Structure 1
Amino acid sequence: MDTSYSLAELAHLVEGELVGDAELRVRGFGPLDEAGPEDLSFIVKADMSGAMAESEAGAFLVPRSVEQSGKPIIRVADPYLASALVLNKMLARPFVPTGIHPSAVVGEGCRIGEQVSIGAQVVLGDRVSVGERVSIGPGTVIGNDVTIGDECIFKAHVTIEHGTEIGARVSISPGTVIGADGFGYATDASGIHVKRPQLGIVRIGDDVEIGANCCIDRATFGVTWIQAGTKIDNLVQVAHNCVVGEHSLLVAQVGLSGSTSLGHHAVFAGQSSTTGHQVIGDRVMVAGQSAVHGDQPDGARLGGSPAFEAKQYFKAVSVFSRLPELAKQVRFLSKELDRIKERFDKT
């Protein structure tokens, strides 16, 4: 099978302007210093265009402002995005079902698509529904009454607890647990912590990607909901009854406390968190290691712990690094002021 692509085909894919040989074909994609004559490469900024002359790549994705090159170029609005589109096209392969491994355990009343790959030591509980073109990696455990949409990919050792609802084209990486009990306790007068049963479920929307070793807890009542298109990095904790809006990004080690609601296209950078029982608006962006308290309006830009307006936060950070020197200056000025007062008093 021919796995090469003409530049004309790729230019159409990325809605770019092709300058050069439209019939030139490429087979791979790589960075400037690794790409070969049959590869496409890219630069993200026009001031990097000088480096293209030293690259062996056959053609380049470039910003629209790049005028020309000694080799074919495809001018695009966003080379980084265009590179993702090209890579996904090049790496796309038809789904080849392997069926159900002999060591897998399938419970009663399951409905499983005809085209699936279910690996070794997988356990499906009772009444599990699995769509078409689904791949479930070895050692994965899926509880009772779980529904899984078409074209999902679960890697090895994923755990999906009972009642979870998963949409289409969802990807879950190794070690992640979906639907474990939320952390809910009531404390009596003597200090004993009494567990509050977690009776809700988790719902995962279409086109969600979840990294390795994440935990998304079931709701106390109702639903913990990760909405369509959201991408979650490794080691993220989403507590009970949270709602994460469509097309949001949660970077590594983010922690959302219980009953946090995020709007669509929210971005939480690494190790940022919420305090819980709060509403975060649409398109809110939170800097790394920030702790968000209280409700936040649409479009807020936040940083710090506790988090406040990002511009002020970054100004404060720049001042913080200078505090030892500023303190030294304050001590010096204080002594000078004391000397001036002393001389003034003598007069």
Structure 2
Amino acid sequence: MEFSVNQIAQMIGGIVEGDGERMVDNLGKIEEGKAKTISFLSNDKYENYIYQSDAAAIIVKTNFTPKKVIKPALIKVEDPYSAFTQLLEEYNKIMSYAKLGVEEPSFMGDNSSIGESHYRGAFSYIGQNVKIGKNVKIYPQAHIGDNVIIGDNTIIFQGVKIYADCKIGNNCNIQAGAVIGSDGFGFAPQADGSYKTIPQLGNVILEDNVSIGANSTIDCATLGSTIIRKGAKIDNLVQIAHNVEIGENTVVASQAGISGSTKVGRNCVLAGQVGVVGHIEIADYTTVSAKSGVSKTIKKTNTVISGTHGFDHKQFLKANALYRKLPELHQQVQQLEKIVLNLPSEKKN
């Protein structure tokens, strides 16, 4: 698919210098400079590449003036990085939503419906009483259980499993292998040492503009709903347990695990391999550093947590500095101990 430089400039709100009728059919790195591609320059240390480039166009800052003759057209914007990101998003939408129609074999159960401009890949399964919006793309081998509701413009990639009764909002993106609505880890210990399974009767709700990474798992609630609020972004290989609530625009990085009935506030950041115990609350705008453990409620907003047993970030840095000095401190203590032991004892009267 090709676009003119002028069309791209209109898309990102830029001003063209050079040939606006040149055609672009791909995105590329500025250091590669391939013909018919578009790139961006936001860091001055990469400026030399612009003079060697055969690209059709390069997005630059509004105040950029080339020091030599260049081949590419320039699209001038306030923030080249943000403009290029916007272009990537638009390109991704075009490519993701390009597929249309139904591949066979695929299955749709009784009393289910799907809106216009949809795509259903081969071996996809849609259960009974499912309501799916318009422009939804369901890739091969995806499974959508009974009574599921899916909003407009949502993409469900290969091998995704959405269990019965779950609700997925508009503009969601669920990557390959993710499981939405599997049973929560609910087992009641018995007197004889065995465990009795507690039925998990709730569902999962993903609000609008939620992204779920590949092979992540979001368990259904025991009762009620596990909820991922609008704009939240969940990375690959994340475990979210039953009755958890993730706040708006919160991001959770890979290999993090959140235990049951915990509530995470909005605009939080949980870095890679973070572990969170159950039945606590994490305040809005909290950042939890990689490999940290959160074992109690965080009430104060804008808190940064670090450490295996997470505590205040500044205290953690001080403690970590002391930890590195432990061998020296230990040696000093031993020396002081020798001095004290060799002090003359007080004479008795």
TM-score, with structure 2 as normaliser: 0.85
Residue matched to 2:194: 192
What's the CA shift string for 1:66-115, capped at 9, x where partnerless?
A: 676545463534x4332210222344428455433332122221122243
Q: Is the 2:286–2:301 Cα contact (8 Å) retained in structure 1?
A: yes
Residue 55 (structure 1) shift = 5.3
Residue matched to 2:328: 329
Task: Could you tell me which runs of 5 or more consecutive residues in structure 1 were left unpaired when the two chains were aligned.
Answer: none
Residue matched to 1:209: 211
TM-score, with structure 1 as normaliser: 0.85
What is the CA–CA distance in structure 1 between the aligned matches of 2:44 and 2:28, rounded to whole Å?
18
Structure 1 residue 23 corresponds to structure 2 residue 20: yes
- What one-letter code is carried by the residue in structure 2 that aligns with 1:172? I
What's the CA shift string for 1:215-268, capped at 9, x where partnerless?
A: 000011111111111111110111111111112111111111111112221111
Structure 1 residue 3 corresponds to structure 2 residue 20: no
Provide closer, same or farther for how the CA distance between residues 284 and 43 of structure 1 changes in structure 2, counting only shifts above 3 A.
Answer: farther
Residue 269 (structure 1) shift = 0.9
Provide closer, same or farther for how the CA distance between residues 328 and 294 of structure 1 changes in structure 2, counting only shifts above 3 A.
Answer: closer
Residue matched to 1:41: 39
Residue matched to 2:313: 310
3-state secondary structure, aligned to 2:242: coil
Residue 57 (structure 1) shift = 4.7
Provide closer, same or farther for how the CA distance between residues 257 and 2 of structure 1 changes in structure 2, counting only shifts above 3 A.
Answer: same
Q: Is the 1:142–1:161 Cα contact (8 Å) retained in structure 2?
A: yes
Provide closer, same or farther for how the CA distance between residues 169 and 103 of structure 1 changes in structure 2, counting only shifts above 3 A.
Answer: same
Provide closer, same or farther for how the CA distance between residues 289 and 64 of structure 1 changes in structure 2, counting only shifts above 3 A.
Answer: farther
Tell me whether 193-202 or 24-33 shows the greater mean CA deviation. Answer: 24-33
- What one-letter code is carried by the residue in structure 1 that aligns with 2:124? V
What's the CA shift string for 1:123-171, capped at 9, x where partnerless?
A: 2211111222211111111111111112211111111100001111211
What's the CA shift string for 1:162-201, capped at 9, x where partnerless?
A: 0001111211111111001111122122222122111111
What is the CA–CA distance in structure 2 between the aligned matches of 1:39 and 1:246, rounded to whole Å?
36
Residue matched to 1:86: 87
Provide closer, same or farther for how the CA distance between residues 2 and 273 of structure 1 changes in structure 2, counting only shifts above 3 A.
Answer: same
What is the CA–CA distance in structure 1 between the aligned matches of 2:36 and 2:290, rounded to whole Å?
39
Tell me whether 112-121 or 126-135 shows the greater mean CA deviation. Answer: 112-121
Structure 1 residue 225 corresponds to structure 2 residue 227: yes
3-state secondary structure, aligned to 1:108: coil
Residue matched to 2:182: 180
Provide closer, same or farther for how the CA distance between residues 2 and 213 of structure 1 changes in structure 2, counting only shifts above 3 A.
Answer: closer
Residue 30 (structure 1) shift = 2.1
Q: For residues 198-347 of structure 1, what are the structure 2 equivalents within 5 Å? A: 198-296=200-298, 297-320=300-323, 323=324, 326-334=325-333, 336-337=335-336, 340-341=339-340, 345=344
Q: Is the 2:4–2:20 Cα contact (8 Å) retained in structure 1?
A: no
Residue 44 (structure 1) shift = 4.5
What is the CA–CA distance in structure 1 between the aligned matches of 2:144 and 2:210, rounded to whole Å?
18
What is the CA–CA distance in structure 2 between the aligned matches of 1:119 and 1:243, rounded to whole Å?
31
- What one-letter code is carried by the residue in structure 2 that aligns with 1:305? T
Number of paired residues? 339
3-state secondary structure, aligned to 1:298: coil
Q: Is the 1:15–1:76 Cα contact (8 Å) retained in structure 2?
A: no
